[in-house]
Structure 1
Amino acid sequence: MARTVEIEGREFHNSSSNYSLPGDSAEHRRLGVQHRALKFMAGGNCLAPIVQQLKTKPCRVVDLCCGSGHWVIDMASDYPLAEVFGLDIVTPKPGIPLPENCKFIIGDVKGRLPFGDASYDLVQMRTVPSVPDRTEILKEIGRILRPGGYVTFIEPFEVYSEALGARPPALIEVDRLLALSPHTPRAKEEEGGQKKSWSVAKILVRFLEEAKDQKNNKLFDWIESKWFHLPVGSWPEDPTQAGIGAWMGEVQINLVGGFRPIFVTGNLISAEEFENLKKLVRDEVNDHSLKLRSPFMYVWAKRI
């Protein structure tokens, strides 16, 4: 089991991972709220065209970097014929009962996955910008997927203001600090004199198109993608969208709070500056005139 360390009252991973958010109950509650928002916005837990198979046949499903484990539990509850596994470097703390057909495994996606060849029908990996290069992971995903099985990725992009057509200043500063932190190593690479975005959302399709196995054979076809722009803050007039926005506003504020130790102890910002930044982020989230949105890219592909 991955060891943990306490920093400023939060529990963090103490391993070779660069994952810089906490791994404690408070973080898993934040991930649970985010899970609900994504599920409502997308209209379900799975967009890949394998749902009918999950309903009618025994299948095996795994969520890599499963975080809070809420998606794993939902999928196990929705599809009782399926065996649903979650893999992460720490044990999830979902705070809800586990169905009999779900199980959590301690493991890291960096290296060989602890699963047999062609043993899974669906592999998911979502909101893991701390793992920017998917080349080797896709080789492993291709290895454990059965022919005709699916992989699905979900990744966030920078929050923007629908009213301004741009990003508001406090959230721009959060993105800048995130790009400088060890949480997102891709962002340290230079691109035309500018730091790359911490997000990998816009390059997921390319990763899948270029994915090859160990023998250099193409791994995936039938690649599809879809953007969802979730409201942040309860500004929408539609009550359902306002509810999603309220969830995502909570997610955004608590996400910034979760990065406090890595920003401050990493000397990216002083404690006083951080507290001021967090207040400004809260003000932006609560400013309904900004009409903030958080984009998420959903991508899925079929194993050849």
Structure 2
Amino acid sequence: MDFSGVDDDTSSDGRSSSPIPSLYSFHSSLDGRLMLRNIYGRILNNQNDTYFLPADNEEHRRLDLQHHIYTISLNGLYSAPDLVRRALQPRPWSSPAVLDVGCGSGRWAIDMANEFPHCEVVGIDLVPPNVQVPLPTNCRFEIDDANLGFAHYRNSFDVVQARAVSSGIRDYPWFLNELAEVLRPGGVLLLGDGDMQIFDETRQPIAYAEEGQPGFSWTHRIFFAAYNAMKSKGGSVDSPSMNPTWLRAIDSLTDVGWDKVFIPMGPWCYASERERVVAEMLRANALSYISGMGPLLLSEGYLPERVATMQREATAELRELRINVYSRWSFAWAVKKY
């Protein structure tokens, strides 16, 4: 894994000497393998057993693709664009700052740094991103586990994003309160995540069915298995639908908004070339996601042959468009009160 672009400017106590230090910062002098482990043939993080999806180059390529799906779906890098641009307006007394929690491949942080060159952008994750593009001078990456809290980031950022992190967060309402504390007054919190639930042609949740029963789908079966495995490990995989309610319960936040987008898993339904492309991208993302579910399912006691069958059959269903299903992506946002 390429660790270029990761902050290694550290003090003698091992913490970053940057103005907003991370609890853990990557040292280029340390063996990067200490942060990683090989489990069932894929590379995973070595800090957090709740998040059990891969952290290797293949997964970062999937996250890059997912980033493009988000960007097309939102018609830009972020929801609530008026709120975000207002929060990141240049000001004479300090530089606006952006925090990307669970930055994955780092693409959103890099794109935000390019769009807002007057802002400081920090991306944090359990492992360093595999940066394959030039890193803007106003962007850096640090190593952190969001489950440890953000006392070191209090009142430090004007925009905070947490996207596709729910499966690695053990207590999501607490996590949202922590993010609210990170925001400066007037700052914007952005949330985004895909549901593990799959939806039928009428955009209704698909009911569980056993193999051989009417309505059975291998794609639904493996997503259902992954959902239960993530729940078993303590992940907050139900959070996408709960975010608006939880945000409204935080006294320091206001202007809560919510939106959802349904995208076909494959080009079985589209009204424009743009929609066809997004559907193709989502199918590719889903296929890669299914491929990466192996360690998660095997660690929860599924037999290797059963996992291989689910992966093979679900992949065939999606490749051959044997099922017509939607994925739902939920977005929420809120503003820190003055």
- In the superposition, the TM-score normalised over structure 1's length comes to 0.87
Deviation at residue 289 of structure 1 after TM alignment? 6.4
Partner of 1:253: 287
When structure 1 is superposed on structure 2, of 255-264 and 126-135 the one drifting more is 126-135
Partner of 1:162: 201
Q: Could you say what secondary structure the match of 1:153 adopts?
A: strand
Q: Does the 8 Å contact 1:28/1:94 carry over to 2?
A: no
**Where do residues 63-102 of structure 1 align in structure 2 (5 Å cutoff)?**
63-102=100-139
Q: Does the 8 Å contact 1:19/1:183 carry over to 2?
A: no
Q: Could you say what secondary structure the match of 1:159 adopts?
A: strand
- Any idea what the Cα deviations from partners look like across 1:119-142, whole Å, max 9, x if unmatched? 110111011122152222223222
Q: 1:293 to 1:126 in 2, by over 3 A?
A: same
Partner of 2:17: none
Q: How many residues align?
A: 288
Q: Which residue, out of 290, 296, 302, partners 1:262?
A: 296
Deviation at residue 116 of structure 1 after TM alignment? 3.9
Q: 1:185 to 1:6 in 2, by over 3 A?
A: closer
Moved >4 Å (runs of 4+)? 163-166, 182-187
Unaligned runs of at least 5 residues, structure 2: 1-25, 27-33, 207-215
Q: Could you say what secondary structure the match of 2:137 adopts?
A: coil
- In the superposition, the TM-score normalised over structure 2's length comes to 0.79
Q: 1:289 to 1:255 in 2, by over 3 A?
A: closer
Q: 1:135 to 1:287 in 2, by over 3 A?
A: same
Deviation at residue 303 of structure 1 after TM alignment? 0.6
Unaligned runs of at least 5 residues, structure 1: 188-196, 212-217
Q: 1:7 to 1:116 in 2, by over 3 A?
A: closer
Question: Quick check: 1:297 aligned with 2:297?
Answer: no
- C-alpha distance in 1 between matches for 2:233 and 2:36: 21
Q: 1:273 to 1:282 in 2, by over 3 A?
A: same
Question: Quick check: 1:174 aligned with 2:206?
Answer: no
Q: Does the 8 Å contact 2:258/2:333 carry over to 1?
A: yes
**Where do residues 1-304 of structure 1 align in structure 2 (5 Å cutoff)?**
1=26, 3-48=35-80, 49-54=83-88, 56-57=90-91, 58-113=95-150, 115-130=152-167, 131=169, 133-157=171-195, 158-162=197-201, 165-167=204-206, 169-182=217-230, 185=233, 198-211=237-250, 218-235=251-268, 236-268=270-302, 270-288=303-321, 290-304=323-337
Q: Does the 8 Å contact 1:83/1:102 carry over to 2?
A: yes
Deviation at residue 281 of structure 1 after TM alignment? 1.4
Q: 1:7 to 1:125 in 2, by over 3 A?
A: same
Identity %: 25
Q: Could you say what secondary structure the match of 1:181 adopts?
A: helix
- C-alpha distance in 2 between matches for 1:164 and 1:46: 24
- C-alpha distance in 1 between matches for 2:228 and 2:176: 26
- C-alpha distance in 1 between matches for 2:306 and 2:153: 49
RMSD: 2.2
